[in-house]
């Protein structure tokens, strides 16, 4: 069974701080997606990374796909309360076109 591990599981920091969350696997993925989920809602796609070593930026969020396409990171600069949510990574297996999901990082940004 493929496994995507996210760390940390929970992070609570002050507004203005920087943070990084990680998504790691022993499997190779053809692409990897990051989602944010608010309470009582479904996940919303933030970004898809496809190429090993790829870096994508979305305002204060920076996403990186590992060179070997087994891991990814999400870095948030100067976190704001609006960044609060559950961050999920999901890797796509080429073999069956199914997404394998991590358990998520619950992020709380305190004003």
Q: Are 21 and 30 in contact (CB under 8 A)?
A: no
21 beta partners: 74
| Residue 102 within binding range of another protein, rule CB under 8 A | yes
| Residue 44 within binding range of another protein, rule CB under 8 A | yes
| Residue 94 within binding range of another protein, rule CB under 8 A | yes
Stretch that binds another protein, among 13-21, 59-67, 68-76, 87-95 (CB under 8 A): 87-95
Nearer to another protein, 29 or 76 (CB): 29
> Phi and psi dihedrals of 48, rounded to 5?
-120, 130
For β-strands 85-93 and 98-101, DSSP reports them as antiparallel
| Residue 24 within binding range of another protein, rule CB under 8 A | no
| Residue 107 within binding range of another protein, rule CB under 8 A | no
| Residue 100 within binding range of another protein, rule CB under 8 A | yes
Q: Read out DSSP for 92-111? A: EETTTTEEEEP--EEEEEE-
Give burial (CB, 10 Å; 0-12/13-18/19+) of 88: buried
| Residue 51 within binding range of another protein, rule CB under 8 A | no
Interaction site with another protein (CB under 8 A):
4, 9, 30-31, 33, 40-45, 48, 88, 90, 92, 94, 97-104
């Amino acid at each position: 069974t493929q496994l995507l591990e996210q760390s940390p599981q929970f992070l609570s920091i002050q507004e203005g701080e920087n943070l990084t969350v990680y998504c790691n696997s022993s499997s190779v993925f053809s692409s990897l997606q990051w989602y944010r989920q608010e309470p009582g809602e479904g996940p919303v796609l933030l970004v898809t990374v496809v190429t090993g070593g790829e870096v994508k930026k979305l305002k204060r969020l920076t996403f990186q796909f590992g060179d070997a396409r087994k891991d990814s990171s999400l870095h948030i600069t100067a976190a704001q309360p609006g960044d609060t949510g559950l961050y999920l990574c999901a890797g796509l297996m080429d073999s069956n076109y199914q997404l394998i999901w991590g358990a998520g990082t619950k992020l709380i940004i305190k004003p």
